A and B are shown apart, each in its own frame.
Chain A
Amino acid sequence: MNDKTILLVEDNPDDEALTLRAFASSNLVNEVVVVRDGQEALDYLLGTGPFASRDTRIQPQIVLLDLNLPKVNGIDVLKRIRADARTLTLPVVILTSSTQERDRLAAYRGFANSYIRKPVDFDQFTAAVQQLGLYWLVLNQPPPTATTGF
């Protein structure tokens, strides 16, 4: 389980702390890598900028992507992820406050794997993160690794 990392793309430190707390309370032991804006997320995934030395053959098990992000917004990050062969099949779950139809549509059109709204009630939020982790990290069969698949 340890090699299955989670990439959390979240600019709000409160949300980051609460999300990590929710993961902790769900007994998920996977490493959670946190990046704070869209550009950083792309750098990490595609091995550019500060992450130039990272081995991009190793990709997270799941990306939790907020939509309202500084620099490059969530939808554009999603499009770039889907445009690159290395991350084309990467499971991406949109985790956001917005329930705007426009956002939901854009996310699914960009081939997001799931769209989850962060509830205000922290109990509900914790429950959502628990289910999410259980589903994507345990239940869901990931695609074959990008290097062999493509």
Chain B
Amino acid sequence: MASKSTTITTKVMSAIMVTSITVLLFTCAAFITYEFVSFRSTMARSLETRADILAANATAAVAFRNELDARELLASLRKDPHIVDACLYDKDGRVFATYPETAPPASFPTRPPRQGYAFESSHLVIFQPVVQEDRWLGTLYVRSDLLAINERYRLYAILVLSILGGSILLAFALSNSLQKRISKPILDLAAVVRQISERREYSARAEKRSDDELGFLTDAFNDMLAQIQQRDGSLRDSEARMKAILDSALDGVITMDHDGRISAFNPAAERLFGHARSTAVGAVLADLIIPPTLRERHSSGVARYLATMQSTVLDKRLELTAMRSDGFEFPAEVTITRISQEGPPTFTGFIRDITERKRAEKEIRELNDQLEQRVIERTAELEASNRELEAFSSAVSHDLRAPLRSIDGFSKALLDDGREILDPQCQGHLTRIRAASQRMGLLIDDLLNLSRLSRTEMRRETVDLTSLARQITAELKQTQLDRDVIVTIEDGLIVEGDTHLLRVALENLLGNAWKYTSKHPTARIELVRANTGAEHVYLVRDDGAGFDMAHAALLFRPFQRLHRQTEFEGTGVGLATVQRIIHRHGGRLWAEGTVDAGAAFYFTLWDREPA
């Protein structure tokens, strides 16, 4: 830097010096040239003047060829030491007087021109005509040396050199102080730059010294510095934040370059793997944290990615096995992301120890298995209790009926075999025994059917109630062809439900209607749909025996009857059965009746989803 700054100073100074010296030299050269030319002409004129005066004085001497006077005249030239020699020519061009007197006439030029001067190599020669009243008498010849010029030259040389020397010194001094005005701000700027580049102190500022381009440069530089300082600050902030995030992250964050070496290793990773950051950074990732059995897969995976730039593992949650510094292997959830999208790729992995989660999952799985096992057990228990119920039903069905059959059968046998010996009263008793046992058989059957209703699986299908009801009433008519019953079944009663169960329900309702109108000579039985709002209500109505509404609540209880057995046969299970079927269809069942004026049974379906 020092040499450079010197160079700037030197450059500025040498520019000034070269300029000023060149100007000076040109000036001096012009001056000397001018002086040289003007001095020669001055010298020539001065010698001419002197020769002119001498020639005028020599007129008489020449006219009269008075050699003595002529010599004396010429001798006056002695006062000027530069006059080398002189002579006078007569009008024939012959030398008749010389100066000095001893100078041989032959040393003077023959045939002199009438007038003129000439600079010879080291002399100035003048020919001056000697004239009297326009009559040319002869010629004066004077030769002077040029020592005066040489002296003048020497003087000039000394003068020029001293001026030049002084000027150079002055120029140097001036330029030295003036160049500082240019180089100082530049050097200051350079110093600031050096300081910044050496110490990274972006807070430093260059001092502005002027409002010229350098000032502008300084301002621009300072402005740039301010921006850099700001960006440096935000970069530092951002880096600090990033570091804080990485440091406080609960997941291990590890960055790997394309060579597979670790370039970043956060504290969580240190805790997770038991490696210090200092040892981890620079180490080969695979050797450090991947179990030996999986390294081959890892390296081939990385190689494949680098070759094809296609990966099945990037940016996904993976469950892998990782290895701690003590060789212990643990399950880890790993997400790998490629960081730099240009140039050789680096990869960052986010790693989480999922041992606990795995354990919890296992626990949940086990609990689930236990639960399933328990469900299986409970189901088995339920099935067992169902089986028990079945066994009970079977037992009731079989074992209770068998004695009844014996009672009835042997009563009959007694009636047949003892016809001769039994009186009518005894036969009547036996008949009663038989009736009672047969009735009990019916009760048992109805009871079993009722319990079966609750157990059988229900299907949900489209059921044509109209068609069902018509079949049932047709069958009823077949049992008693002599009865006068008007049956009205509404068309198009299509519902959802279990065909078999709904048939049983209708059989009971229509069968009841048929039964309880049997005491009337004519009867009406109806099945219609009444709409109350959005709800469909189905209605089975007859004009038969009816019932007292005071007892309506008893209607649907099993084995509960509102009529005597001698009036209308029955077990009292029918309406209980209907109610159970309607309930299984998510509906309601209710009844209205008037004694001897008929009964009406209303039901709905699917008010709610069945339990």
Q: A residues bordering B, Cβ < 8 Å?
A: 12, 14-15, 18, 21, 67-68, 96-103, 118-123, 125
Q: Contacts A18-B405, A100-B390 given; 11 further ones with Cβ under 8 A? A: A14-B403, A14-B406, A14-B410, A18-B406, A68-B394, A97-B402, A99-B397, A99-B445, A100-B393, A100-B397, A125-B409
| Interface flag for B508 (CB, 8 Å) | no
Chain B residues contacting A118 (CB-CB under 8 Å) are 401, 405
Say whether A97 contacts B406, CB under 8 Å.
no
- Beyond A21-B413, A102-B390, A120-B437, whether A15 also contacts B406 by CB under 8 A is yes
Chain A residues contacting B394 (CB-CB under 8 Å) are 68, 98, 100, 102-103
| Interface flag for B488 (CB, 8 Å) | no
The count of residues in chain B whose C-beta lies closer than 8 Å to any C-beta of chain A is 26
Q: B residues bordering A, Cβ < 8 Å?
A: 390, 393-394, 397-399, 401-406, 408-413, 434, 437-438, 440-441, 445, 448, 452
**CB closest residue in chain A, given B449:** A99
- Beyond A14-B406, A122-B405, whether A97 also contacts B398 by CB under 8 A is yes
- Beyond A97-B397, A100-B393, whether A122 also contacts B402 by CB under 8 A is no
Contact of B402 among A14, A21, A121, A123 (CB under 8 A): A14
Say whether A98 contacts B408, CB under 8 Å.
no
Contact of A120 among B399, B405, B410, B452 (CB under 8 A): B405
**CB closest residue in chain A, given B417:** A21
Chain A residues contacting B440 (CB-CB under 8 Å) are 120
Could you tell me the distance in whole angstroms from the C-beta of A43 to the nearest C-beta in chain B? 24
**CB closest residue in chain B, given A101:** B452
Chain A residues contacting B452 (CB-CB under 8 Å) are 101
Chain A residues contacting B413 (CB-CB under 8 Å) are 18, 21, 122
Q: With A and B bound together, what is the CA distance between A99 and B411 in angstroms?
A: 24
Contact of B404 among A21, A68, A120 (CB under 8 A): A120
- Beyond A14-B410, A68-B398, A121-B441, whether A97 also contacts B390 by CB under 8 A is no
Q: With A and B bound together, what is the CA distance between A52 and B390 in angstroms?
A: 37
Could you tell me the distance in whole angstroms from the C-beta of B489 to the nearest C-beta in chain A? 30
Q: With A and B bound together, what is the CA distance between A10 and B390 in angstroms?
A: 22
Chain A residues contacting B434 (CB-CB under 8 Å) are 121-122
Q: With A and B bound together, what is the CA distance between A100 and B441 in angstroms?
A: 15
Q: With A and B bound together, what is the CA distance between A96 and B398 in angstroms?
A: 8
Q: With A and B bound together, what is the CA distance between A4 and B410 in angstroms?
A: 28
Say whether A120 contacts B408, CB under 8 Å.
yes
Could you tell me the distance in whole angstroms from the C-beta of B454 to the nearest C-beta in chain A? 14
A-B contact pairs, 22 of them (CB 8 A): A14-B402, A14-B406, A14-B409, A15-B405, A18-B409, A21-B413, A68-B398, A68-B399, A97-B397, A97-B401, A97-B402, A98-B397, A99-B445, A100-B393, A100-B394, A100-B397, A120-B401, A121-B408, A121-B434, A121-B441, A122-B409, A122-B412
**CB closest residue in chain B, given A96:** B398
Q: Which 9 A-B pairs have the closest CB atoms?
A: A120-B441, A14-B406, A122-B409, A18-B409, A122-B412, A97-B398, A97-B401, A120-B404, A98-B398
Could you tell me the distance in whole angstroms from the C-beta of B445 to the nearest C-beta in chain A? 7
Chain B residues contacting A12 (CB-CB under 8 Å) are 402, 406
Could you tell me the distance in whole angstroms from the C-beta of A123 to the nearest C-beta in chain B? 7
Could you tell me the distance in whole angstroms from the C-beta of A72 to the nearest C-beta in chain B? 17
Q: With A and B bound together, what is the CA distance between A101 and B397 in angstroms?
A: 11
Could you tell me the distance in whole angstroms from the C-beta of A68 to the nearest C-beta in chain B? 5
Could you tell me the distance in whole angstroms from the C-beta of A89 to the nearest C-beta in chain B? 28
Q: With A and B bound together, what is the CA distance between A14 and B397 in angstroms?
A: 17
Q: With A and B bound together, what is the CA distance between A67 and B397 in angstroms?
A: 12
Q: With A and B bound together, what is the CA distance between A123 and B416 in angstroms?
A: 11
Chain A residues contacting B399 (CB-CB under 8 Å) are 68, 97
Q: With A and B bound together, what is the CA distance between A121 and B405 in angstroms?
A: 7
Q: With A and B bound together, what is the CA distance between A100 and B452 in angstroms?
A: 9
Could you tell me the distance in whole angstroms from the C-beta of B411 to the nearest C-beta in chain A? 8
**CB closest residue in chain A, given B406:** A14
Contact of A125 among B403, B405, B411, B448 (CB under 8 A): B405
Chain B residues contacting A101 (CB-CB under 8 Å) are 452
Chain A residues contacting B437 (CB-CB under 8 Å) are 120
Q: With A and B bound together, what is the CA distance between A97 and B404 in angstroms?
A: 11
Say whether B405 contacts A14, CB under 8 Å.
yes
Chain A residues contacting B402 (CB-CB under 8 Å) are 12, 14-15, 97
Say whether A121 contacts B438, CB under 8 Å.
yes
Chain B residues contacting A14 (CB-CB under 8 Å) are 402-403, 405-406, 409-410
Q: With A and B bound together, what is the CA distance between A54 and B339 in angstroms?
A: 95
Among B398, B404, B445, chain A packs the most CB atoms within 10 A around the CB of B398
Q: With A and B bound together, what is the CA distance between A6 and B409 in angstroms?
A: 21
**CB closest residue in chain B, given A126:** B412
Q: With A and B bound together, what is the CA distance between A12 and B398 in angstroms?
A: 11
Could you tell me the distance in whole angstroms from the C-beta of B26 to the nearest C-beta in chain A? 139
Could you tell me the distance in whole angstroms from the C-beta of A143 to the nearest C-beta in chain B? 30
Q: With A and B bound together, what is the CA distance between A101 and B412 in angstroms?
A: 30
Could you tell me the distance in whole angstroms from the C-beta of A52 to the nearest C-beta in chain B? 32
Chain B residues contacting A67 (CB-CB under 8 Å) are 398
Chain B residues contacting A68 (CB-CB under 8 Å) are 394, 398-399
Q: With A and B bound together, what is the CA distance between A99 and B447 in angstroms?
A: 13
Q: With A and B bound together, what is the CA distance between A100 and B394 in angstroms?
A: 6
**CB closest residue in chain A, given B435:** A121
Could you tell me the distance in whole angstroms from the C-beta of A51 to the nearest C-beta in chain B? 27
Q: With A and B bound together, what is the CA distance between A96 and B402 in angstroms?
A: 9
Q: With A and B bound together, what is the CA distance between A125 and B411 in angstroms?
A: 13
Q: With A and B bound together, what is the CA distance between A97 and B438 in angstroms?
A: 14
Q: With A and B bound together, what is the CA distance between A125 and B405 in angstroms?
A: 9
Could you tell me the distance in whole angstroms from the C-beta of B297 to the nearest C-beta in chain A? 57
Among B393, B408, B411, B448, chain A packs the most CB atoms within 10 A around the CB of B408
Could you tell me the distance in whole angstroms from the C-beta of A25 to the nearest C-beta in chain B? 8
**CB closest residue in chain B, given A18:** B409
Chain A residues contacting B404 (CB-CB under 8 Å) are 120
Chain A residues contacting B397 (CB-CB under 8 Å) are 97-100
Chain B residues contacting A103 (CB-CB under 8 Å) are 394
**CB closest residue in chain B, given A19:** B409
Q: With A and B bound together, what is the CA distance between A98 and B577 in angstroms?
A: 21
Q: With A and B bound together, what is the CA distance between A102 and B448 in angstroms?
A: 13
Q: With A and B bound together, what is the CA distance between A121 and B407 in angstroms?
A: 9
Chain A residues contacting B410 (CB-CB under 8 Å) are 14, 18
Could you tell me the distance in whole angstroms from the C-beta of B169 to the nearest C-beta in chain A? 138
Q: With A and B bound together, what is the CA distance between A103 and B390 in angstroms?
A: 10
Could you tell me the distance in whole angstroms from the C-beta of A66 to the nearest C-beta in chain B? 9
Could you tell me the distance in whole angstroms from the C-beta of A8 to the nearest C-beta in chain B? 15
Could you tell me the distance in whole angstroms from the C-beta of A77 to the nearest C-beta in chain B? 16
Chain A residues contacting B403 (CB-CB under 8 Å) are 14
Say whether B412 contacts A123, CB under 8 Å.
yes
Chain A residues contacting B393 (CB-CB under 8 Å) are 100
